[in-house]
A = this chain, B = another copy of it.
Amino acid sequence: MNTATALTHEPPCTTALRGEVAVALPMRHAGVQGVNLRYELQGPAGAPVVLVAGGISAHRHVSASAEFPEKGWANALVANGRTLDPARVRVLAFDYVAADGRLDVPVDTADQADAVALLLDALGIERLQAFVGYSYGAMVGLQFAARHPSRLRHLVAVSGAHRPHPYACAWRALQRRAVALGQLQCADAAGLALARQFAMLSYRTPEEFGERFDAAPEIVNGRVRCAAEDYLDAAGAQYVARTPVTAFLRLSESIDLHRIDPAAVQVPVTVVAVEGDRLVPLSDSVNLVEGLAGRGQLRVLRSPYGHDAFLKETDRIDLILAAVLRGNGAAA
């Protein structure tokens, strides 16, 4: 059943639309599952299509538009005057499989990549000008490039590699244990908040914390409270309000399940690494580019925002996207 009615029923002047496509998805660890692929497509008909995929908490609403004015998760990158200018490029994004919390099975990055191919079929898009993936999205992009090479011209893989690093896996495994500890007594929200707070430490850097949270701790009700705890409280609460526990667990696991042989990727890939990223060490990005042989090129940023640089260093990321995408005609 294709429920992508938005595509055909919106008035022609509309530049952003949303829809949902029901597909039967053969999954690597869970057989064939019926899933709804929720997407958003912004930009003029006929323009080249760039798919943008973010971390596990990203979603289909990448940037604000007249139709959907709320702020998107990559609002500063998909905007007028940027390389990903929705006046000149069609930007496609989707909610990850399992992001709605209804699918409680192991999810592989290969499953997400196959879901993208089914979505492109449903939308009548033969080929992406580029797949811009960040974090989990970079992993999905590598799978997509390996499994559906005829469906994209270029992959930009930011802060994600051919494997999760074993240290980062351990960090995520403990986050999932925090959720499990909360679930033991139906304190699901408390467990998920703690997991998110630990995740925040992996996304950011000591440099940033040193600048922001240098105040001495206080003793409150006989307990020590550190300067960063207000920030961490807010980060946990904000995440819990929008994230089903099952979605977090299955997508967190999905990062750890990810493995791909770089030699299986036969399209051009720009790998963007961030020096100081505490989840994706530079050495893994270098190994990825080596495995890609002549098909890969490496760009390295240094940022106090670590793993989150894609969302924070938007001017520098845009320069990289310009070099890559304008070079191959995406936004010429």
In the complex, A101 has a CB within 8 A of chain B: no
Return the contact of A181 from the options B173, B178, B216 (Cβ within 8 A).
B178
Per the bound structure, the CA–CA distance linking A170 and B185 in Å amounts to: 25
In chain A, positions 200-231 with a C-beta closer than 8 Å to chain B are: 201, 205-206, 209-210, 212-214, 216-217, 219, 222-229
Contact with B along A171-185 (1 / 0, CB 8 A): 111100110011011
Measured CB to CB, the nearest residue on chain B to A186 is B185
In the complex, A191 has a CB within 8 A of chain B: yes
Per the bound structure, the CA–CA distance linking A255 and B314 in Å amounts to: 37
Return the contact of A166 from the options B165, B167, B209, B257 (Cβ within 8 A).
B209
Q: What B residues does A228 contact at CB under 8 A?
A: 166-167, 169-170, 173
With A178-B181, A216-B259 in contact, is A170–B106 under 8 Å at CB? no
Q: What B residues does A201 contact at CB under 8 A?
A: 167, 170-171, 174
With A29-B219, A178-B178, A206-B165 in contact, is A226–B184 under 8 Å at CB? no
In the complex, A313 has a CB within 8 A of chain B: no
In the complex, A187 has a CB within 8 A of chain B: yes
Return the contact of A169 from the options B177, B187, B213 (Cβ within 8 A).
B213
In the complex, A156 has a CB within 8 A of chain B: no
Query: Assembly of this chain: how many copies?
Result: 2
Contact, CB under 8 Å: B197 / A177: yes
Per the bound structure, the CA–CA distance linking A256 and B219 in Å amounts to: 11
Per the bound structure, the CA–CA distance linking A228 and B201 in Å amounts to: 19
Contact with B along A97-115 (1 / 0, CB 8 A): 0000000011000000000
In the complex, A73 has a CB within 8 A of chain B: no
Contact, CB under 8 Å: A170 / B253: no
A240–chain B nearest beta-carbon distance, Å: 13
In the complex, A198 has a CB within 8 A of chain B: yes
Contact, CB under 8 Å: A173 / B232: yes
A125–chain B nearest beta-carbon distance, Å: 32
In the complex, A322 has a CB within 8 A of chain B: no
Number of interface residues of A (CB under 8 A): 51
Q: What B residues does A296 contact at CB under 8 A?
A: none
Measured CB to CB, the nearest residue on chain B to A170 is B228
Q: What B residues does A253 contact at CB under 8 A?
A: 223-224
Contact, CB under 8 Å: A177 / B194: yes
With A173-B226, A173-B232, A181-B191 in contact, is A206–B167 under 8 Å at CB? yes
A249–chain B nearest beta-carbon distance, Å: 8
Q: What B residues does A168 contact at CB under 8 A?
A: 206
Contact, CB under 8 Å: A166 / B232: no
Return the contact of A170 from the options B29, B224, B229, B281 (Cβ within 8 A).
B229
In the complex, A190 has a CB within 8 A of chain B: yes
With A190-B181, A197-B177, A219-B29 in contact, is A169–B227 under 8 Å at CB? yes
Contact, CB under 8 Å: B166 / A213: yes
Contact, CB under 8 Å: B206 / A178: no
A-B contact pairs, 5 of them (CB 8 A): A166-B227, A167-B210, A170-B209, A170-B213, A174-B201
